[in-house]
Structure 1
Amino acid sequence: MNVAVEHIATDQPPDDAKARDLDYGWQPGNRIELLENGEAYFPAVFEAMRQAQREILLETFILFEDKVGHELQGILIEAAQRGVKVIVSLDGFGCGELSPAFLGELADAGVAVQMFDPASKLVGIRTNWFRRLHRKIVVVDAAVAFIGGINFSADHLGDFGPEAKQDYAVQVSGPAVADLHHFALAQSGRQVRTRRGWRRRQQRPSLWPTHTDDGLVRLIYRDNLQHRDDIEEAYIHALSKAQKRVVIANAYFFPGYRLLREIRNAARRGVQVQLIMQGQPDVLLAKLAARMLYDYLLKDGVVIHEYCQRPLHGKVALVDDDWSTVGSSNLDPLSLSLNLEANVLIRDHAFNQQLYESLEILARNHCQTMPEKRKPRLWLWRLTVGFLVFHVMRHFPALTGWLPAHKPRLKPFESQAHDH
């Protein structure tokens, strides 16, 4: 199922200065559109790029030289040739297999292509595994933005086959785009004019706005500097506020104890808590790791579904009837402790309901539900292995500190066409 749901908020921003300070980071009056899978995402983002007049900013973890990648390449080349400033930031691991010819055609057309933390292969193996640029952001003309978990690859389309990914993104129009634009431009290494909100980054942004008008959007991100746990804290805070329902659909689920405890506590106080996990994972370890946590959650009433139709790649959640989040961050040690990630938080009743209905279709029609009382067979083995796996994975980010230290960098790609 492909969904394109939009909601236009008509409420005006609050005038009270104190309320604005309390709601720091939240932007009111936005239009939010849910894009499910590549069938909804690619046409929307490609059309916005085709209409671009001034600027296209793009960050992605993966770009493949398949039918999606070649269509994107053609659109970016055409935009650059008509005078649009195009800046493309690619992860050096996720895009490490792109050919020099593919990148050279972009650069020769005037596209500014840069790789995040590239590294040469060692005996044919990529070694730059950690602290990846995992964000997926597109901003066009500082007027419309796209953010979510969808990469530019054909495996996000249904016709890819059984391995096609189930995923989500959002299209945002309105005041929040200015924050996304400023963030994407700054992360690309370009100098930007200081916005009021960005001068106050030492402060803790509001995780739960005082105003409940629809159309509220807030950009939230994690880096390895001052915002190491912002996304995790947003989840924890929202779960602590939950009164009615929680639905979390996440591809790689192995969060820390604090987040697990809030999930369990919400269920204990009567909140309907549903988790949608991978049943057909593209990484088997992800399924095994998540299952280590099932007993802890099931015994307190959390309902766990495993999505079995195809690999789940989504990173979305909702709380009650108006809070949602969509973005690039998984709930595992890589995303919560190492990678560069970005989500949006959304306070909007209509968007929340549409996301809920989409996830309910998955849970009802394409998932198997884990039994509340699992068989005690081999419980001691599971407990022992679960304990070991849990602590190894939770301390894994710290262990990477033993690796040779380096400062990740953006390296501009320079075409070698002039050498031929």
Structure 2
Amino acid sequence: MCSKHWARRACASTSRPSSCSTTRSGRALLQALRAAAARGAAVDVLADGFGSEPLTADYRAQMAAAGVQLHLYEPRPRLFGLRTNLFRRLHRKIVLIDGRRAFVGGINFCSDQLLASGPWALHDYAVELQGPVVGDIERFVARSRSAAHPPRTSAAEERIHGPARVRFVTRDNHRHPGDIEREYRVAIRMAQREILLANAYFFPGYRLLRDLRNAARRGVDVTVVVQGKADLRIVPIVARWLYHYLVPAGVRICEFRTRPLHAKVAVVDGRWATVGSSNLDPLSLSLNLEANVVIVDAGFGTELRARLLQLLAQDCTPVTAARVPKRTWWRIVSSMLVFHFLRHFPRWVERIPAARPHIEHDEADVGAQR
């Protein structure tokens, strides 16, 4: 969905909280949802079937008893002890309140392995939105509850209000498979002075990598922040295979080492910015359902840029040419094989027979309503 709107207030940088059933964050979330339902608010929660599997039956029953409607995207039983819904996940992070305020970003309430604070709390971002863009998000959320693939936004919804332009951009496997990546590539190709990009799982396709390298070669100051202290061991290993391609061209790579990075944000020329759920990796760009906002506004861009520059100054280690691993024949061959495997992997997964993604009411919720 692409529509231009006015953004009043935005940009929050925070550690990503954990929220499994027994954690402090999970209990706080349940309490807040209960309180909202008690005030008479209609409370709907649409959760990813893979990410929400650890929710206990007691936790779900408490949600149902409080009047909270829980819906699960693609819930599937385990097969030989393994979860079978790893791919084509609902990866969006959207909160909609009274049709007047919305939050879009990368922050989850989903993991029992992360702490709300401390060295393993993920660093993340979300944006608070008010104005006409919230109407687009509300219509999108309403359709998403009943259909896995929402219809394309009509041209009549592409409006401009106030000094800022905001587009709510989604990615799905039906009508909008490349919308978010396209927004990135257009902004990178149009950049004149500076590109600041922070992405937790950075392994984009060749076209976006080529755009970054070409931007650096034409004199644009290009900085990419990746994980240095990763939540998954393979993440920095995969990202470092790209250093040979980017660093010699003048792209500055910086590793965030204070704690794991979960950000999916970028600022171009201090004016164009994006915040959302989409990583620049094969899963987010080719399989998962994602949601970003693109904001064109000097005020917002300046604030997000300042936060990223502070991150670079305090918590990041630059990757110099001396730190790039030597180009041995084994490293060249293995990196090429892994790169092409990961890039083509989504196409192979799409060939695996699978039912059309669907949304189910939680059984505990249905039982409470009878």
CA contact (8 A) 2:15 2:117 kept: no
Determine if the alignment matches structure 1 residue 111 to structure 2 residue 68: yes
In the alignment, residue 305 of structure 2 is paired with which amino acid?
Y
- Aligned match for 1:298, one of 247, 255, 259: 247
Report whether the alignment pairs 1:189 with 2:146: yes
1:34 maps onto 2:11 in alignment = yes
The answer to whether the aligner puts 1:87 opposite 2:44 as a matched pair is: yes
**Cα distance change on mapping 1:212 and 1:382 into 2, 3 Å:** farther
Displacement of 1:38 after TM fit? 4.3
Is the Cα–Cα contact under 8 Å of residues 212 and 347 in structure 1 kept in the other structure? Answer: no
Match of 1:394 in 2: 343
Q: Secondary structure at the match of 2:9?
A: strand
Query: Cα distance 1:199–1:379, how it changes in 2: closer, same or farther (>3 A)?
Result: same
Give the aligned residue type for 2:200: A
| 1:101-155 CA distance string (max 9 Å, x none) | 1111111222111100011112332221100000000000000000100012588
RMSD over aligned Cα atoms: 2.5
Aligned to 1:199: 154
From 57, 61, 64, the counterpart of 2:20: 64
Q: CA deviation at 1:363?
A: 1.2
Judge conservation of contact 1:34–1:170 (CA < 8 Å) in 2.
yes
**Structure 2 gap segments, 5+ residues each:** none
Whole-angstrom CA distance in 2 between matches of 1:215 and 1:26 = 8
Scaled by the length of structure 1, the TM-score of the pair is 0.81
Q: Is the 8 A contact 2:19 2:111 kept in 1?
A: no
Contact 1:34 1:355 in 2 (8 A): yes
| Counterpart residue identity of residue 274, structure 1 | T
Relative CO higher for 1 or 2, CA cutoff 8 Å, sep ≥ 6?
2
| SS of equivalent residue, structure 2 residue 225 | strand
Per-residue deviation, 1:94: 0.5
Q: Secondary structure, in 3 states, of the residue corresponding to 1:286?
A: helix
1:277-302 superposed Cα distances (whole Å, 9 cap, x missing partner): 00011111111111111110111100
Which runs of 5 or more residues in structure 1 are unaligned?
A: 1-23, 43-61
When residues 115 and 159 of structure 1 are mapped into structure 2, their CA distance, relative to the original with a 3 A threshold, is closer
Contact 1:322 1:352 in 2 (8 A): yes
Q: Which moved more, 1:381-390 or 1:368-377?
A: 368-377
Contact 1:150/1:156 (<8 A) preserved: no
Paired residues, number? 363
Which residue does the alignment assign to 1:252? 201
Q: Who is 2:308 aligned against?
A: 359
Closer, same or farther: CA 256–83 of 1 in aligned 2, 3 Å: same
Q: How does 1:2-401 map to 2 (within 5 A)?
A: 25-28=3-6, 30-38=7-15, 63-65=19-21, 66-152=23-109, 160-189=117-146, 198-200=153-155, 214-374=163-323, 377-401=326-350
Q: CA deviation at 1:199?
A: 3.2
TM-score by length of 2: 0.91
Sequence identity (%): 43
SS for the counterpart of 1:152 is: coil
